[in-house]
């Protein structure tokens, strides 16, 4: 049996060796790029390869401990936030989840395409037997939303929606590549908790991790326009969001995200109308009409603006 001194010395030697290997490999990682197909690494990048983000690859504790499974955990924490939004009234894997396909906390921001259908009030269904019937007294069985008072039903306590934020923050830490986490968090921070500065900082963090995200740009534009009343910055950000949306290229993805495009363009139209640039407002409404399912309503708005232009002449 080795003495404790020998064991300690062996441990120290191992530590020095590990540190040495780490120090030797670190500079090489800084020049590594992800190959085009995303399956390997290269030190000789071409135009389409992506550079390895050293801060995320090495320094992030979640990445070191969890690896790629952190995305799965991120999704489960995102769903957890939605369960908090419902004060614990949430379907399990055994229940009917049709009315919870899209998280309600995201749906209520108005910038997400909802896939929900069915009755959200009664996913538990009728009572199956006496055990099920008796058991329902011991867990939440009423559909509520935190921004509408939650379990207490007290509407003055709508800032309680902040209870979802720790899980959203954790979800963003685990998977910084999901733009929706940033937009949902920023929306509730700004709308209900009146923490505009924190919302802006979080959106900027999201933008650093997802520079091509039109969702984050849209939410950032809303923040500038609705909270700071900064028309110029809001316009710039929303126009950048439109460009990013057109840069998607894939028609399927564009079709799936057309609600965001409609939101961006209708907000741009409103901004231009408020700023007195009526022809520009019509331009954006016509752009929105191309993807909207309520093209008739948009046409009515176009007609109203055209009437205003005629009146001005």
Chain residues binding another protein by CB under 8 A are 84, 87-88, 92, 94, 128-129, 131-132, 134-135, 137-140, 150-152, 159, 162-163, 165-167, 169, 189, 193, 195, 198, 202
Tokens of 241: 């969001």
What DSSP designation does 95 have? S
How near is the Cβ of 115 to another protein at its closest, in Å?
24
Q: What is the DSSP string of 172-205?
A: HHH-TT-HHHHHHHHHHHHHTS--HHHHHHHHHH
Reference 275, options 219, 208, 230; nearest CA is 230
Selection from 255, 185, 183 nearest residue 222 by Cα: 183
List the structure tokens of 192. 């209900």
Would you put residue 118 in left (φ > 0), alpha (ψ -120 to 50) or beta? left
CB of 147 vs another protein, minimal distance in Å: 14
Name residue 51's beta-bridge partners: 33
What residue spans of 92-161 are helical by DSSP H? 104-107, 130-135
Query: Which has the closest alpha carbon to 155: 167, 163, 147?
Result: 147
Q: How many CB atoms lie within 10 A of CB 192?
A: 15
What minimum distance in Å lies between the beta carbon of 90 and another protein? 9
At its nearest, how many Å lie between another protein and the CB of residue 1? 26
> CB of residue 216 vs another protein: minimum separation in angstroms?
17
* Cβ closest to another protein, residue 49 vs residue 87: 87
Smallest distance, Å, CB 170 to another protein?
Answer: 9
Between 188 and 218, name the residue whose CB sits nearer to another protein.
188
Is residue 100 within 8 A of residue 201, CB to CB? The reply is no
Q: What is the largest CA-CA distance in the chain?
A: 99
- C-beta closer to another protein: residue 23 or 131: 131
User: Based on CB atoms, which residue is closest to another protein, 37 or 129?
Assistant: 129
Of residues 87 and 181, the one with the C-beta less far from another protein: 87
Query: Which residue, 108 or 272, has its beta carbon nearer to another protein?
Result: 108
Minimum distance of another protein from residue 125's CB (angstroms): 10
Q: Least distance in Å: CB of 197 to another protein?
A: 9
CB closer to another protein out of 74 and 260:
74
How long, in residues, is the chain? Answer: 313
Both tokens of 49, joined, read 């390869």
Q: What's the min distance (Å) between Cβ of 100 and another protein?
A: 16
Given the complex with another protein, which of 39 and 137 has the nearer CB atom? 137
Tokens 């965001």 correspond to 260
DSSP state, residue 226: I
Question: Which residue, 55 or 129, has its beta carbon nearer to another protein?
Answer: 129
Cα distance between residue 16 and residue 13, in whole Å:
5
CA distance 99 to 86: 13
């Amino acid at each position: 049996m080795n003495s404790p001194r020998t064991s300690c010395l062996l441990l120290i030697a191992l530590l020095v060796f590990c540190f040495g290997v780490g120090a030797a490999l670190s500079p090489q990682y800084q020049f590594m790029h992800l190959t085009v197909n995303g399956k390997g690494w290269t030190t000789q990048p071409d135009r389409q390869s992506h550079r390895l983000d050293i801060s995320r690859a090495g320094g992030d504790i979640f990445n070191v401990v969890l690896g790629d499974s952190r995305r799965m955990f991120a999704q489960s924490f995102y769903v957890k936030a939605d369960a908090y939004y419902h004060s614990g009234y949430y379907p399990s894997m055994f229940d009917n989840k049709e009315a919870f396909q899209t998280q309600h906390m995201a749906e209520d921001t108005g910038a997400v395409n909802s896939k929900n259908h069915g009755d959200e009030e009664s996913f538990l269904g009728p009572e199956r037997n006496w055990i099920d019937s008796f058991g329902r007294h011991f867990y939440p069985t009423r559909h509520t939303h935190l921004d509408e008072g939650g379990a207490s039903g007290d509407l003055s306590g709508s800032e309680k929606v902040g209870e979802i934020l720790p899980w959203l923050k954790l979800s963003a830490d685990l998977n910084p590549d999901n733009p929706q986490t940033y937009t949902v968090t920023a929306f509730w921070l700004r709308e209900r908790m009146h923490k505009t500065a924190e919302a802006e900082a979080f959106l900027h963090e999201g933008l650093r991790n997802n520079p091509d995200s039109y969702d984050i740009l849209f939410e950032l534009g809303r923040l500038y326009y609705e909270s700071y009343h900064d028309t110029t910055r809001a316009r710039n950000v929303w126009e950048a969001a439109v460009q990013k949306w057109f840069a998607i290229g894939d028609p399927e993805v564009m079709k799936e995200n057309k609600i965001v495009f409609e939101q961006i363009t209708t907000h741009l139209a409103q901004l231009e109308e408020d700023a007195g640039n009526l022809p520009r407002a019509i331009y954006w409404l016509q752009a929105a009409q191309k993807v909207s399912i309520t093209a008739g309503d948009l046409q009515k708005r176009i007609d109203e603006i055209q009437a205003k232009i005629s009146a001005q002449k």
